[in-house]
Amino acid sequence: MSTLSVPSFSVIGGAEVQNALEGRHKEIADIIESAYLLHGRGDTVNPPSYFLRFPDRPSSRIIALPASVGGEFGVDGIKWISSFPDNVVAGIPRASAVLILNDRTTGYPVACLESSIISATRTASSAALAADRLTAGRERPRRIGFVGTGLIARHIHAHLLGTGWEFDAAGIFDLSAQHAAGFADYLGRTSGSAGITVHESAESLIRGSDLVVFATVAGTPHVHDPAWFEHNPLVLHVSLRDLAPEVVLAAANVVDDVEHCLKADTSLHLAEQRLGHREFVDATLYDVLTGDWTPPTDRPVVFSPFGLGVLDLALGKHVLETARAAGSGTVVDGFFHEVRRYG
């Protein structure tokens, strides 16, 4: 007789997620690196994300990211994340998300986790990991610049600091003077003696930075001149749609996953449409992590991560286990009510 049983179902709220992740930047980086290595070895399933769009709300979308991760994680599930830019005007975050984790044996959902924090954390840790590996063996950039000053920019900055980065100068550019001022205040409280400059233009910021972070909500490219990057900075192109094809084609390009990144009118997708091929993509982050590709020093290096569902699952599994070990989270008794085949 089968010994299978219906698993319990837990709800892990935002405060509990925060407690499981806060201050553990190096531990999280190890989790993200392990997930990338499993993905590069083919021990994951990461189908295309599904974009739910609305004709009456064209700037908004909700995205489904189903995935499965093998190896030490052994978890299936899906992230359901919304992006409603108009929220910012009302003073609430643009993005909200939940993560559903499924039992690998029965397929039953075992947990629902608040996932905006997980999503921001895996995005930031991925960017920091890429920055670390892409500068391995050479002097790290000391001048950082942020184009876009929202939650993701703050998380990236925190993960860089939490994994040993130090900066002499920090630049800021945002279309909103209020948001730029708020981010400058945040940097002033967290960056020690680094000088902080709010720039009047993206060009000024880029030319004055050796590490440039794009974390905007731009839907189409707004940076067109490759000459702005003639000092060959490292670019973390997290928001994916800021750079015009001519900038992309003048750089060395690293992605987390080629198929995922070259779609949905990302900057690299636009470059592919212009050229009719993908040969301008130099490497994946897996190639960098395994030492199969070394970044050049005579061109800007652009890391464009689409953001893989496998990262959310790996980190979500860690959060669930951490929360359970701490006795936190809420078990919903009887969530699955009809569990007998014949009643």
Beta bridge partners of 64: 50, 80
Do both 77 and 193 map to the same domain? no
Least Cα distance to 165 among 201, 129, 199, 189 occurs for 129
Mean pLDDT of the chain: 94
Whether the predicted pLDDT of 164 surpasses 50: yes
- Do 196 and 164 lie in one domain? The reply is yes
Reply yes or no on whether the pLDDT at 194 is more than 80.
no
| pLDDT tens readout for residues 56-77 | 999 899 999 999 999 999 999 9
Residue 337 domain-assigned (yes or no): no
Residue 324 falls within a domain, yes or no?
yes
Q: Are residues 133 and 269 in the same domain?
A: yes
**Where in the chain does DSSP place strands (E)?**
10-12, 44-45, 50-53, 61-69, 75-83, 95-102, 109-114, 143-147, 169-173, 195-198, 211-214, 234-237, 252-255, 281-284, 301-304, 330-331
> What pLDDT, on a 0 to 100 scale, did the predictor assign at position 281?
98
Judged against a pLDDT cut of 90, whether residue 38 lies above it is answered with: yes
Q: Across residues 82-100, what is the average pLDDT?
A: 90
Residue 85 has pLDDT above 90, yes or no: no
Q: Among all chains, which residue has been given the structure tokens 């001022």?
A: 181
Question: What is the DSSP secondary structure assignment for residue 188, as one 8-state letter?
Answer: H
Per-residue pLDDT averaged across 100-106, rounded? 95
pLDDT of 65 reads 96
* Same domain, yes or no: 182 and 282: yes
pLDDT band at 268 (very low <50, low <70, confident <90, very high): very high
Its domain, for residue 139, covers: 126-304
Query: Is residue 57 a part of any domain in this protein?
Result: yes
Question: Closest Cα partner for 172 from 188, 193, 159?
Answer: 188
pLDDT at 6 over 90: no
- pLDDT tens per residue, range 300-325: 999 999 989 999 999 999 999 999 99
How many whole angstroms separate alpha carbon 157 and alpha carbon 187? 9
Predicted local distance difference test score (pLDDT) of residue 1: 44
Q: How confident is the model at residue 80 (pLDDT cuts 50, 70, 90)?
A: very high
What is the arithmetic mean of pLDDT over 204-228?
A: 97
Instruction: Establish if 252 belongs to a structural domain.
Output: yes
Residue 343 lies in a domain: no
Write the CATH number for 111: 3.30.1780.10
Q: What share of the chain is helix, strand, coil (3-state, %, to 5)?
A: 35, 25, 40
Q: How confident is the model at residue 2 (pLDDT cuts 50, 70, 90)?
A: low
Q: Determine the 3-state secondary structure of 209 from DSSP.
A: coil
In this structure, are 250 and 131 located in the same domain?
yes
Query: Is 1 inside any structural domain?
Result: no
CATH number of residue 266's parent domain:
3.40.50.720
pLDDT for the residue numbered 192: 66
Residues 255 and 141 in one domain: yes
Residue with tokens 């199969």: 292
Asked, for residue 268, whether it belongs to a domain, the answer is yes
pLDDT at residue 94, rounded to an integer = 85
In the predicted model, is pLDDT for residue 289 greater than 70? yes
- Judgement on whether residues 168 and 112 belong to the same structural domain of the protein: no
In a domain, 340, yes or no: no
Q: What is the mean pLDDT of residues 96-112?
A: 96
Helix and strand numbers, DSSP H then E, in the chain: 11, 16
